[in-house]
Structures are given as structure tokens and as C-alpha cells.
Amino acid sequence: MKAVLVTGANSGIGLATSAYLVSRGFHVYAGARNTDLLKDLCKNPNIIPVKLDVTNVKDLISLKKLIEKKGKGLFGLVNNAGIAKVGPLMDVSVEDIRTQFEVNLFGVHQVTQALFPLLLEAKGRIVMMSSDSGFFATPFVGPYCASKFALEGYADSLRREVLNHGVKVVLIEPGRVKTPIWQKSEKEIKKGGINPSSIFWKEAMAMGKYALQKGKTSGLPPLAVAKTVCQALIVKKPKLRYIVAENKFEYQLMKILPASFVDKLVTNKVQKVIRITAKKDKK
């Protein structure tokens, strides 16, 4: 039974991935900052909940000792833990961007580096949970997009470094998924993520409301991503990147169309959303 660590396993994609991997015969270490949220998972003997804040070195040391003590090794690492900071970039504090990168990039590096010897020994897999925001930068989600773009570069470099050593690195790029990250983003907005006095307030609020509504109502279920993660772990030759979205063709176009053309598309979309939001607010 191959062992896999899933970070950020307390909710959303991480929770679904942990449960699904166990159903497919994996032994899972489910990492979460608050293990009380993993009570339901604890009922399965093949899931071990572990306290893991990806920015906390002490948590990582304890985790590595636990894995070594269990003697099952570590075949897979699913770097799923992440946060999203929102707001116009010119209004976002340096501290918020640092916090964004501490979790979404530096935390990933810290976990991967600490556990790499075990993954190397197993000739295993490292799965990076990126996003459509890792190749398509949307306005007013700059900190999150920047961290995911950075993660993609990190993953590409790492993949090319470890390729000849038997370890595979795979990027998962989900589109809109129904997870608690939307509720968290909503709280960010309400607590001042978008300043009413900002010159960007009108556009940012309209896009924020639109994205939150879409995320909470029309996103894919986390299980869709979990199944893709599983595929990346079990197939002999996994793809370098997996886009998990209903509109894959549209995303592929965004990757090849001229940036200036995409800018126009985005600008038109923002203006359309502003008009729609204004009509709804009047009702």
C-alpha cells in the first residue's frame, strides 16, 4: 500500500483527495493546521491525520519522524495547501503579498524539500495544486495569481531537475471549484480587502461579487480534482499538466492568443460584469 501526504486536507480539494485516494488503496497522511476538522476521516484506519502548517518547521520535523516511524515510506506528495488574497494590487499591502507567498510558494518548497529524500527513495510523485490562475492572470486577484504563476515556474524547474532521478512532478490546474476558499475570499473582501476609497473599487467589487457567486454556485465538485490527482499518481506516464475545468478549450486558447487580445477580452468582461452587477444592485 503506497503512502501519500496531502497538505491542506481539512476541506475542499484536500479533503476530497484524501478520501478518494484511500478508496483507491492508498495510505494517506492528511495534513491540516487544525486536525479537529479531520474527525470524519479519522474513522478510516488508512488515513492518519497530522498537524501540519506548511510554514511551520517544527510541524515538518514531527511529520517526517512520524512517516519514518511508520515504515511505509512516502510515494506521493500532494502540495494542496493554499490561501487566496484578493484586491487591486495597488491597494494590497506588502504584508498580504508576503503572507500569500509564504503559504503558496515558500510553504510548498519547505514541505517538498523536507520530504524529498523519502520521495527519491520511492521514485515517487510530487503533485502541485496550481490553478487556472497559474497561467491566466485575472484582475483583482493579483496576489493569488502571482503565487500560482510562481508555483508553475517552481514546478517546471523542479521537474527538469529530478527527471533523471526517477521522481515525477505533475501540475494540476483546476478551474472554478466549489470549495470553502470562496467563503474565505468573501471574508477578505468584507474586512477591507477592497478599499471603498480606491479608484479601482467599482470594478473590483463587481468582479469580486461575480466571482464569488460563480464559485459558490457553478464550480466543479472537489471530487473531480481528486480523481485527477489520483490519475497523476497511478498512471505510468502522467501528463505534465492537467487542466480540470468544463471550459478546457477556452483555457487552451488563453495560453496561445496574443496577450494584447486577451487584455481586450478581459477588459470587455469587466465592463460587462459591472453593468450586470449594477442592475442587480438596483433591484
Residue spans of the domains in the chain: they are 3-282
SS3 173: strand
CATH 3.40.50.720 fits 3-282, yes or no: yes
Interval 12-60: pLDDT, tens: 999 999 999 999 999 999 999 888 877 777 778 899 999 999 999 999 9
Residue range 93-118, pLDDT digits in tens:
999 999 999 999 999 999 999 999 99
Coarse DSSP helix, strand, coil percentages of the chain, rounded to the nearest 5 percent: 60, 15, 25
Run of H or E including 6: strand 3-6
**Residue 242 annotated as catalytic:** no
Residue 217 parent element (H or E): helix 201-218
CA atoms within 13 A on the CB side of 46: 14
From the candidates 144, 154, 210, 242, give the one annotated as an active-site residue.
144
Q: How far apart are CA 33 and CA 10, in angstroms?
A: 8
Q: pLDDT digits over 62-71, tens only?
A: 999 999 999 8
Instruction: Give the model's confidence band at 250: pLDDT under 50 very low, under 70 low, under 90 confident, else very high.
Output: confident
Find the DSSP H helices in 219-258.
Answer: 222-234, 248-256
**What integer pLDDT is reported at residue 191 of this predicted model?**
56
Q: pLDDT tens for residues 161-189?
A: 999 999 999 999 999 898 776 666 556 55
What digits encode the pLDDT tens for the residues 72-85? 899 999 999 999 99
* Torsion over CA: 207, 212, 213, 215 (sign): positive
| Predicted TM-score (pTM) of this structure | 0.91
CA angle 193, 194, 200 (to 5 degrees): 145
